Amino acid sequence: MKKAFRPAFTATIPVLCGYLFIGFAFGVMLRDIGFGSIWSFFCSLSIYAGSGQYLLVSLLAAKASLVTVAVMTLLLNCRHIFYGLSFLETFHAMGRRKWYMIFSLTDETYSLLCSVKTPEGIDAGDMRFWIAMLDHSYWILGGVLGTIIGGILPFDTTGIDFAMTSLFTVIFVEQWQSTKCHIPALMGLAAAAVSLAILGPDNFILPAMLAICVMLVAMRGRLAKEVA
């Protein structure tokens, strides 16, 4: 288990940079509506959904009901269901750790688990677990720092959400460079572009994810040959 920590930490450095920044902004906004570091810690520990937590700030400020919060968070983050489909057997083989892996499968963690290569002599399950744990800890740390420092220094959050876009871009480029088969990446780009053009930025994610899954299943035979 300990042997897998160093390569996992190295692999998660891009997420560290992004999560500290984005988590910090969440903490600042949470502080702005009257919640301190304890709230930030437990929100990040138990909810752990970047866009969902940003939404939570708005809902808390509007004094929304718990039912509204639950439904909106589910609708916003149900795309994670698609992520888990490709890891059913992988997580099942990890024993009791599978429950945490299911809980902690965020966008960035999913991207890393799909692209990272386990070094020789390192248990793949241990490395996946460390990646998930480290990513989660980065998010918690960023949120707590945001509420603490945000209460001391003024902080303008305008445009801060672009950091997540930058993080995805870096991960996409790394995946592109690490494989010779670019068909899945091109399908993802095409599905996202078409869905965005038709449905707009507020509604394109779930249809795009569904389209990607359908295309991957339909072309699984060809993709298997390309990768082999």
> Considering its fold, how many domains does the chain have in total?
2
Residue 101 lies in a domain: yes
Asked if 121 and 54 sit in the same domain, the reply is yes
Asked if 142 and 101 sit in the same domain, the reply is yes
The percent of residues above 90 in pLDDT, for the chain, comes to: 23
Residue 153 lies in a domain: yes
pLDDT of residue 52: 75
Asked if 152 and 187 sit in the same domain, the reply is no
Asked if 109 and 194 sit in the same domain, the reply is no
Q: Is the pLDDT of residue 135 over 90?
A: yes
Asked if 139 and 212 sit in the same domain, the reply is no
How confident is the prediction for the chain on average, in pLDDT? 83
pLDDT of residue 222: 76
Residue 148 lies in a domain: yes
Query: Domain range spanning residue 210?
Result: 179-228
pLDDT digits (tens, 9 = 90+) for 59-112: 787 787 777 777 767 766 776 777 777 788 888 889 999 999 988 888 889 888
Residue 57 lies in a domain: yes
Residue 43 lies in a domain: yes
Asked if 63 and 128 sit in the same domain, the reply is yes
Mean predicted confidence (pLDDT) in 169-188: 79
Asked if 39 and 94 sit in the same domain, the reply is yes
Which of 158, 190, 215 is the endpoint of a domain?
Answer: 158
Question: Where does the pLDDT of residue 115 fall: very low under 50, low under 70, confident under 90, or very high at 90 and above?
Answer: confident
Cα 115 from Cα 132, distance rounded (Å): 14
pLDDT of residue 54: 76
pLDDT of residue 34: 85
Residue 212 lies in a domain: yes
Q: Find, among 174, 86, 184, the residue nearest to 128 by Cα.
A: 86
Which residues are CB-contacts of 141 (< 8 A; sequence separation ≥ 6)? 20, 23
Question: Where does the pLDDT of residue 136 fall: very low under 50, low under 70, confident under 90, or very high at 90 and above?
Answer: very high
Q: Is the pTM of this model over 0.75?
A: no
pLDDT digits (tens, 9 = 90+) for 188-206: 889 989 999 999 887 787 7
Q: Find, among 56, 42, 171, 44, the residue nearest to 116 by Cα.
A: 171
Asked if 154 and 212 sit in the same domain, the reply is no
Q: Find, among 192, 228, 7, 6, the residue nearest to 118 by Cα.
A: 7
Asked if 144 and 100 sit in the same domain, the reply is yes
